[in-house]
Amino acid sequence: MADSNRKKQILNGAARLFRKRGFTATSMRDIASELQIEAPSLYNHIKGKQEILQILLLELARSFTSGMEVIRNSTLTYEEQLEKLIRLHVDLTIKHPNGMALLTSDWVHLEEPAFSQYVSMRDEYELAFRNILIGAFKNDGKESVNVDLALFSILSTLRWLYTWVLKNPEINPVELEKEMIENLLSGIFNRS
């Protein structure tokens, strides 16, 4: 098996265990056991748990920020940009449900400089999302809407979507995107 495939297996197995047990409660021995390999052989592919956490979280954060950049630089309306952002979240959640679980709590275990990199990307993403929401509300004549509460509601739902996806693995991604867009935006924009 190629080194890159083994490393990917290690990352996937670790993400699954981190989701189930938490980062601090999972040992390298646990990861090796999950993958049915000897613990010392893990170190041929990875330096340790911290490296695993950094790879998982920073790759997801980069996927979100690069997706945001594409959406922000598009000619789409603000509401269409919101729909694209929801699709981005759904897509990444379906592809990486275990990794998405780490975004809700285990990011606090990142060490520097990865911690600061992650927080910076997250904050930049949330600010861009907020600005798109502001534009959408202005275009829809809803300037009195509490933008921060709307942002919190949307992102909270999207961040915890992995729990639903893991329980419903047979879901059609296109249908899930449509339903999430409808559920999250219909109340804000009074869609019928």
Q: What contacts 20, CB < 8 A, 6 or more positions away?
A: none
The Cα 7–Cα 11 span in angstroms is 6
The structure tokens 């999207």 sit at: 158
Token pair in block for residue 123: 């904050």
pLDDT in tens, 27-85: 999 999 999 999 888 999 999 999 999 999 999 999 999 999 999 999 999 999 999 99
pLDDT in tens, 76-118: 999 999 999 999 999 999 999 999 999 999 999 999 999 999 9
The Cα 108–Cα 46 span in angstroms is 20
> Contact, 165 vs 143, CB < 8 A?
no
Token pair in block for residue 156: 């909270």
| 31 exposure class (CB count in 10 Å sphere: 0-12, 13-18, 19+) | buried
Domains defined along the chain, listed by start: 48-189 (1.10.357.10)
Read off the amino acid at residue 129.
F
pLDDT in tens, 137-161: 999 888 788 999 999 999 999 999 9
The Cα 83–Cα 145 span in angstroms is 18
The Cα 71–Cα 78 span in angstroms is 10
Provide DSSP, 18-50: HHHH-STT--HHHHHHHHTS-HHHHTTT-S-HH
pTM for the full model? 0.93
Helices (H) and strands (E) in the chain, counts: 10, 0
32-41 own/partner pairs: CB under 8 Å, 24+ apart:
35/9, 35/10
